[in-house]
Amino acid sequence: MTATASALTPTLTSADVNTELKLSLLSLAANLDRGQSYNPTSSDAYKERMDTATKLVEALVAASPPLPTSLDALDGEWELVYTNVAHGIFRSSPFFLAIQQAYANDGVPEKAELFFKLHELQTCSWGISKIGRVAQTIKASEGMLYSEFDTNLLTLTTIPVLGFFKLLPTFGGCVITASTAKLVDGKIEMEVACPSPEHTSPSPRPKPQPQA
């Protein structure tokens, strides 16, 4: 993830900390569409690149400063740039993490993997849906974490034999999940929550202006 908030501690925002590793990882992650290009269910294509990117992450973690001990140090917005979890670019949401944990608590974690595979098959096949930007906003003063991901529906519904005529209109939106958050032993513990009046969702990002 990359941070875009000014409230982060200097050790996390210093541009000269592990710059070469960061640039290598960002470049490879962009080529892999953050890991979405790799689909082990259908083939091993991109597996070698995924392994290389994962090693870069491990090297970056090993060379990074100590982890923060306060949630305040993580306050701000974080954007996902790479994941090596199969069928998983949307799984950083507390909602999907709760599903995974629920199956694990029942002793059947493999059912969670089946659920995620079916979810990806039903939503991402044939150009039905594409996951866009994935981000999390931490509001330490509220003890809340807001997870959001953009999704576009029916982006590739065209008819090639008719000059790529658009069969159906394209729709888009942003899915937001709110959860409580606290930092315990280097990990963020979360519990999915329904936003209340005092727990508002992140402000919408400005829409891009049309170009002449």
113: its two tokens: 């993997």
CA-based nearest residue to 116, from 93, 149, 146 = 93
* DSSP conformational letter for 127: G
User: What per-residue confidence (pLDDT) applies to 203?
Assistant: 42
Phi first, then psi: give them for residue 142, nearest 5 degrees.
-100, -15
- Where is mean pLDDT largest: 36-40, 61-65, 112-116? 61-65
Mean pLDDT of 47-71: 91
Query: What is the per-residue pLDDT for 88?
Result: 67
Cα–Cα dist 34/39, whole Å? 12
Tell me which amino acid residue 143 is.
G
Query: What are the tokens at 145?
Result: 């974490």
pLDDT digit string, tens, across residues 155-193: 555 555 555 555 555 566 788 888 999 999 888 888 887
| Residue 11 backbone phi and psi in degrees, to 5 | -65, -25
**CA triple 53-55-59, angle to 5 deg:** 115
